[in-house]
Structure 1
């Protein structure tokens, strides 16, 4: 920050230094992905979505007659960011099947490539290097070779896998190269706040006018004429960039390189093995996707009720993991709807029934004056997803694995203490929702009285935690045992008696939620 200056000028020491820092970041990334002189690195937009839209703008397809003779072939487990932009182009979309082991069906891919090649179509193949749902990894080099054999373009979504694996734009083998890679650096260790990243061959940029014209894109502008820069990296990063954010992107690639993908890979294999060893023994826990194919330590699962006939709602399970163990897990379909439907075994006919509840029906009488919508998010199919970061120590990893196992076994016992918002699909502990509403903190709590920064919120924001993971796990065992006794009573005193244990529950829950000293509420 002491050397911060605008990058669109070199007239001061600070601006020159800042520009050099950004150049350093770009060069570090190029080195880390084995980029050649034919590859450009562009910082752009919000994550992978922004990078893909930048690529489509560079291809200039929307204004090209060739659009009518273009097809997009996507993988079986694509994120919406690698599906919807291609769909909105109006080109035919072909979704390649997966094998019984959850991998790309290479035979089906080749069938599609042959079919469209014979029709003289321009072929775009956009695959994920790894699934963001199951963590299953794709053999990128063999796919790229096959795509190039039929004259296609090989585009890769590395949003999920980039923090873990090597990204090689130009591996050995004449046709194993990647035409474009896009990713979200904010998923890296140290990455929050960084912009989307596009790494692509220069030949792909056919647009005579930059995708986003404005400051920094023109060589000169007169009263009557203007001329845009020829340098792709400069012309495609119009406007003052997120300077600190892009420098940070370079540093996180540098950090990943220092750790080494070989070390990360070995750790990931161990984490997957440890998780499966524990979780596969739990009859209530169903881990989605292949358990034998190469994968990252990313897990999506559903939890059966104790009766074995019903499923606990994924958002309820996520809430219990958070409230009781301080573990952040995501409930839903992870923006990979088609793949989620496949994994959950939902037919098109059944999903049509689910989707009715997800649409707004203006003519439907709900009987609820407070309801702003008739949509019921509670009916959206989904699962719980979490990952085991390679940089966590063994104690923390064991804590998470044991917590998931315990929640899968006992979470149903806490259903009476949670409120469900059917429209939002959310679950909140009755004490939390009644006392705190949506959240603890609000930006309106911040004031600048008498020239100083003041936080008027009554809850502490310090990181002074005076208990460890073992304490929390032991507390939860006590709470579960107490709840079991109360459930066995099966009478009206059930809820009253649980109040005796609320302070202990709050110590677990709130201690994590605001990362401060536990407060008994």
Structure 2
């Protein structure tokens, strides 16, 4: 019933099941960006004529909205970035680089692996990885062993695996990490599309947020920084909009959040992201979670009926993404055939090569859902998969 709010579904007959890569955008998000460019296109935090003031007000309104949306303590804790990848790289390069040890999980996206390699960290040499069991669950016992062996570590963990949909218990992970003096960052790229996030409850020190995976525009995101760290972190870029005063002998910076937001921001994108958050508030998380869990369970049940299917985890503590393969079938071939049948999903390693290597596979077929997906979408997927299997098995 919510598909009517999304122009994509009015203009396309495609069964869209690649929400882990990006979500579709409601009309209110699209309209807000058009309105900015057509009616008050101006830069923010600079000029003081009418349209410039309006642009600044609309931009800053989103900061306050996002602060309330995740229950942050202050709007100064919300820093806009171009997405989760930039958010993670920002904290990695400007704050976490000074930590002797970084601890990550086995299910990380490359965006939370490669930045540590760029610092010269390798497994056992400044980088530690928490084991997962056969169901891909986070091994809390091993995590505690790593915390004991590496005092005051920097912990960086994905909230929801983009490849397998596993939900990490960030509240428990953070509580244990803090008890050993560790600082915690959470990759929340997949979070806000599926779950209500309460930063006070999670108690993480940093939380990376994606706009485009949360029904907002591409090229926009944010990083939540716990207030006590704001003065300790140096900007990793400086320039326009970050400066209090400059002469040739030196510069002084503004306070947070502005000292972290150098240059002209993605103004239309941020305004659009705000509309996405308003849309989620309109739909309400209780409805989103209820609808998603029902369709996700139905998806799992129907997939399980297909011959020779291979899963890598069950759906306990899982949402959003369901990954699988078929014995004797190359996953790329499934993707190509389903595309010709009007079904969009992702095949490959999903920017999570280490866990794929651990499982002894090159990649998977991934179906990733959002609350606007329904039983009809699942039925059409299953029908397409059956046809593809017949063609590939001869």
TM-score range, shorter chain: 0.7 to 0.9
- On the 8 A contact 1:217/1:237 being kept in 2, the answer is yes
Aligned in 2, Cα 1:326/1:214: closer, same or farther, shift over 3 Å?
same
Question: SS at 1:251's partner residue?
Answer: helix
Question: SS at 2:42's partner residue?
Answer: coil
1:55 and 2:35 correspond:
no
- On the 8 A contact 1:38/1:202 being kept in 2, the answer is no
- Structure 1 residues 443-454: aligned runs within 5 Å: none
1:412 and 2:392 correspond:
yes
Provide the residue aligned with 2:24 in structure 1: none
CA displacement 1:232-274 (0-9 Å, x = unmatched):
2101110011110111112212222222222221222212221
Shift of 1:51: 0.8
2:143 to 105, 109, 123: 109
- On the 8 A contact 1:49/1:196 being kept in 2, the answer is no
- On the 8 A contact 2:67/2:74 being kept in 1, the answer is no
Provide the residue aligned with 1:187 in structure 2: 213
Provide the residue aligned with 1:384 in structure 2: 365
Provide the residue aligned with 1:506 in structure 2: none
Shift of 1:123: 0.8
Q: Max radius of gyration: which structure?
A: 1
1:247 to 259, 264, 271: 271
Provide the residue aligned with 1:300 in structure 2: 323
Provide the residue aligned with 1:257 in structure 2: 281
Provide the residue aligned with 1:196 in structure 2: 221
The TM-score, its normalising length taken from structure 2, stands at: 0.84
Shift of 1:179: 0.4
Shift of 1:328: 1.5
Shift of 1:101: 3.1
Q: Which has the higher contact order (CA 8 A, sep 6+)?
A: 2
The TM-score, its normalising length taken from structure 1, stands at: 0.64
Aligned in 2, Cα 1:240/1:82: closer, same or farther, shift over 3 Å?
same
1:96 and 2:130 correspond:
yes
Aligned in 2, Cα 1:274/1:402: closer, same or farther, shift over 3 Å?
farther
CA distance in structure 1 between the partners assigned to 2:386 and 2:104 by the alignment: 35
Provide the residue aligned with 2:242 in structure 1: 217
CA distance in structure 2 between the partners assigned to 1:328 and 1:208 by the alignment: 41
Between the two proteins, the alignment pairs up a number of residues equal to 353
Provide the residue aligned with 1:322 in structure 2: 339
Shift of 1:384: 1.6
CA distance in structure 2 between the partners assigned to 1:33 and 1:100 by the alignment: 32
Question: SS at 1:155's partner residue?
Answer: strand
Provide the residue aligned with 1:396 in structure 2: 377
Provide the residue aligned with 1:416 in structure 2: none
- On the 8 A contact 2:241/2:259 being kept in 1, the answer is yes
- On the 8 A contact 1:101/1:293 being kept in 2, the answer is no
- On the 8 A contact 1:48/1:196 being kept in 2, the answer is yes
Aligned in 2, Cα 1:124/1:405: closer, same or farther, shift over 3 Å?
farther
1:21 and 2:58 correspond:
yes
Aligned in 2, Cα 1:297/1:54: closer, same or farther, shift over 3 Å?
closer
Question: SS at 2:101's partner residue?
Answer: strand
Question: SS at 2:57's partner residue?
Answer: helix
CA distance in structure 2 between the partners assigned to 1:102 and 1:210 by the alignment: 36
1:86 and 2:130 correspond:
no
Provide the residue aligned with 1:419 in structure 2: none
Aligned in 2, Cα 1:89/1:140: closer, same or farther, shift over 3 Å?
same
User: What value does the CA root-mean-square deviation take over the aligned residues?
Assistant: 2.0
CA distance in structure 2 between the partners assigned to 1:233 and 1:221 by the alignment: 19
Question: SS at 2:145's partner residue?
Answer: helix
CA displacement 1:82-110 (0-9 Å, x = unmatched):
11112322341111011343211111111
CA distance in structure 2 between the partners assigned to 1:301 and 1:208 by the alignment: 41
- On the 8 A contact 1:297/1:387 being kept in 2, the answer is yes
